């Protein structure tokens, strides 16, 4: 006999009341309302710092060159006083892993705080929304303008908006490419309309990408394209501080007079003003509960706090709350998941700093000549090699070259070498066999190069010496 699913009686729906759709549910363009508040100020300060770092760092100089430059053509990557090479890419991988664990740790503490405050998609979207506001007016004016037929006024306002969008996009693209190609020369070519080739292609590509992402796609990138929105919930626990609505305090909703006893009228603190919906950049209603569309920007908190202040109610109807707190408990700061991520992050950060300090600023590689061996005029066996030495520092250096642990061989090469900053030297050398070795035809050899001014700075490479068998 099949098991029956128990049924329960639900309250009937009042079909006379209109269904109110959020901007996200309605599917049209999302027009946000202007607001002010402490979280908005925090986001502005953070975004201002990020803009200053992004747009300003590309123009800084260091020892006569661009301070931060990833020169892909020469395979050299400058970050102020440090030079990195393709061999150092393991450090980049480690840095990306550290950034991921840092994101996981921040998510356990405060949800999508990265998305709401520092994600480039969010930051540039807020800039584009500001451009909308100064060209097309406040929310109600933009909604009215959308519905109005085309006119000179509408064309002028739209043209001004898209002009600002394109200007910001072009400046963003120029700065981004300027970290891979010297930005001063790039800017001069752009102003002189001489930009061409790959530089022109990438400038147009990133301009279009910024214009589309921040101007047209906006919240669709956060909701549908960003994988973070899909797996964020797996990182939350009952003590994660999330932007949430306190339903126990806010329900039931409804308008009331400011000085009325709304509790006696059976009303909660929510006056159903819809401001939390109107300021949301993704167009959701935070009162519907946790949603993947929420990017944690806290705009609804600022809007609701302003209303609570005017009504004389306590702030926090919409605020940073944990699930445990909303259920009447007290949030815990220290818990196993957070401690685990924190310890892992600290260990990886420590290992990264150690690896960064311990990385060799000198490199040597040996490539044996394709000729196995040859006999010189004295009847001795010789092998030829091509050594590749790299000075990874930003200062000229003098190095010593020697052969290790092979007394039966003689190294014919300069003993002292001078390399300019970042110079790559390819040096042909020869090993001569002084004593015949009856056993075996190959002998392992090691070349070592060391800094004459700092004996601790040294590097080695291995190869083999081939000689004919003696019977």
Per-residue pLDDT of 388-433, as tens digits, reads 999 998 899 999 999 998 899 999 999 899 999 989 999 999 999 9
pLDDT of residue 8: 46
Burial of 264 (0-12, 13-18, 19+ CB in 10 A): exposed
Q: Are 447 and 464 in contact (CB under 8 A)?
A: no
- Lookup: tokens for 114: 């990265």
In the block, tokens 């394209």 appear at 225
Domain boundaries of the chain, sorted by first residue:
18-57+111-328, 362-466
Lowest mean pLDDT among 128-132, 274-278, 327-331: 327-331
- Output 437 or 266, whichever has higher pLDDT: 266
pLDDT exceeds 80 at position 27: no
Task: Express each pLDDT in 241-259 by its tens digit.
Answer: 999 999 999 999 999 998 8
Per the CB < 8 A criterion, the answer to whether 42 and 320 are in contact is: no
Average pLDDT over residues 72-88: 88
What pLDDT score was predicted for residue 6? 52
Query: With 90 as the cut, is the pLDDT of residue 33 above it?
Result: yes
Classify residue 342 by burial, with Cβ atoms within 10 Å: 0-12, 13-18, 19+.
middle
Question: How many angstroms from the chain centroid is the CA of residue 452?
Answer: 40
CA distance 352 to 370: 39
Q: How far is 42 from 93, CA to CA, in rounded Å?
A: 31
Residue whose structure tokens are 């010297």: 182
Pair 222, 200: CB distance under 8 Å: no
Q: What is the mean pLDDT of residues 148-169?
A: 97
The pLDDT score that the predictor gives to residue 24 is 72
The CB-side HSE value for 407 (13 A sphere, CA atoms) comes to 0
Output the CA–CA distances (angstroms, integers) from residue 15 to 12, 18, 444, in the order listed: 9, 7, 88
Alpha-carbon dihedral of residues 396, 66, 50, 119, nearest 10 degrees? -90
- pLDDT single digits (tens) 167-222: 999 999 999 999 999 999 999 999 999 999 999 999 999 999 999 999 999 999 99
Taking a C-beta distance cutoff of 8 angstroms, is the pair 69, 179 a contact? yes
What is the longest distance spanned by two Cα atoms in the chain? 113
299 — pLDDT class (breaks 50, 70, 90)? very high
* pTM given for the model: 0.85
CATH superfamily membership of 362-466: Immunoglobulins (2.60.40.10)
For the record, the structure tokens of 167 come out as: 């200007």
Tokens 């006893």 correspond to 261
Q: Would you say residue 165 has pLDDT above 90?
A: yes
Cα 94 from Cα 91, distance rounded (Å): 5
Reply yes or no on whether the pLDDT at 16 is more than 80: no
48/126 Cα distance (integer angstroms): 12
Terminal alpha carbon distance of the chain: 91
3-state SS record for the chain: CCCCCCCCCCCCCCCCCCCCCCHHHHCCCCCCCCCCCHHHHHHHHHHHHHHHHHHHHCCCEECCEECEEEECCCCEEEECCEEECHHHHHHHHHHHHHHHHHHHHHHHHHCCHHHHHCCHHHHHHHHHHHHHHHHHCCHHHHHHHHHCCCCHHHHHHHHHHHHHHHHHHHHHHHHHHCCCCCHHHHHHHHHCCCCCHHHHHHHHHHHHHHHHHHHHHCHHHHHHHCCHHHHHHHHCCCCCCEEEECHHHHCCCCCCCCCCCCCCCCCCCCCCCCHHHHCCCCCCCHHHCCCCCCCCCCHHHHHHHHHHHHHCCCCCCEEEECHHHHCCCCCCCCCHHHHHHHHHHHHHHHHHHHHHHHCCCEEEEEEECCCCCEECCCCCEEEEEEEEEEECCCCCEEEEEEEECCCCEEEECCCEEEECCCCEEEEEEEEEECCCCCCCCEEEEEEEEEECCCCCCEEEEEEEEECCCCC
- Residues with Cβ < 8 Å from 420, sequence gap 6 or more? 391, 396
Residue that has been written with the tokens 């999508």 in this structure: 112
Handedness of CA 271, 277, 279, 284 (dihedral sign): positive
């Amino acid at each position: 006999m099949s098991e029956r699913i128990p049924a329960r009686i639900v309250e009937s729906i009042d079909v006379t009341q209109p269904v109110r759709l959020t901007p996200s549910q309605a599917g049209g363009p999302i027009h946000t309302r202007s607001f002010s508040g402490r979280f908005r100020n925090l986001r502005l300060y953070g975004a201002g710092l990020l803009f200053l770092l992004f747009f300003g760092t590309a123009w800084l100089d260091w020892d006569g060159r661009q301070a931060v430059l990833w020169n892909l053509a020469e395979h050299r990557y400058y970050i102020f006083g440090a030079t990195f090479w393709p061999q150092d890419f393991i450090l980049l991988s480690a840095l990306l892993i550290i950034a991921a664990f840092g994101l996981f740790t921040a998510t356990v503490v405060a949800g999508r705080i990265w998305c709401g405050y520092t994600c480039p998609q969010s930051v540039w979207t807020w800039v584009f929304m500001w451009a909308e506001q100064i060209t097309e007016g406040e929310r109600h004016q933009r909604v009215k303008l959308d519905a109005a037929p085309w006119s000179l006024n509408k064309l002028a306002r739209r043209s001004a908006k898209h002009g600002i969008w394109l200007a910001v996009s072009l400046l963003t693209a120029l700065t981004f490419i300027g970290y891979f190609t010297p930005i001063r020369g790039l800017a001069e070519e752009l102003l002189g309309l001489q930009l061409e080739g790959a530089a022109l292609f990438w400038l147009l590509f990133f301009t279009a990408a910024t214009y589309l992402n921040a101007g047209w796609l906006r919240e669709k990138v956060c909701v549908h394209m960003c994988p973070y929105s899909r797996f964020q919930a797996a990182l939350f626990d009952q003590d994660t501080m999330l932007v949430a609505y306190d339903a126990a305090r806010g329900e039931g909703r409804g308008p009331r007079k400011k000085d009325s006893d709304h509790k006696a009228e059976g009303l909660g603190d929510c006056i159903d003003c819809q401001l939390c919906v109107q300021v949301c950049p993704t167009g959701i209603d935070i009162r519907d509960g946790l949603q993947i569309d929420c990017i944690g920007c806290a705009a609804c908190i600022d809007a609701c706090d302003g209303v609570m202040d005017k009504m004389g109610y306590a702030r926090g109807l919409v605020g940073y709350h944990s699930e445990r707190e909303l259920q009447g408990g007290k949030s815990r700061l220290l818990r196993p998941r957070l401690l685990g991520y924190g310890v892992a992050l600290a260990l990886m950060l420590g290992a990264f700093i150690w690896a960064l300090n311990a990385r060799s600023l000198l490199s040597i590689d040996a490539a044996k000549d394709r000729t196995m061996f040859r006999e010189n005029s004295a009847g001795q066996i010789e092998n030829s090699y091509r050594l590749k030495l790299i000075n990874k520092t930003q200062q000229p250096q003098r190095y010593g070259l020697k052969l290790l642990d092979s007394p039966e061989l003689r190294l014919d090469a300069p003993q002292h070498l001078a390399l300019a900053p970042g110079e790559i030297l390819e040096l042909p050398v020869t090993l001569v066999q002084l004593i015949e070795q009856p056993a075996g035809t190959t002998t392992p050899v090691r070349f070592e190069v060391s800094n004459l001014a700092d004996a601790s700075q040294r590097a080695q490479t291995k190869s083999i010496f081939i000689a004919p068998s003696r019977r």
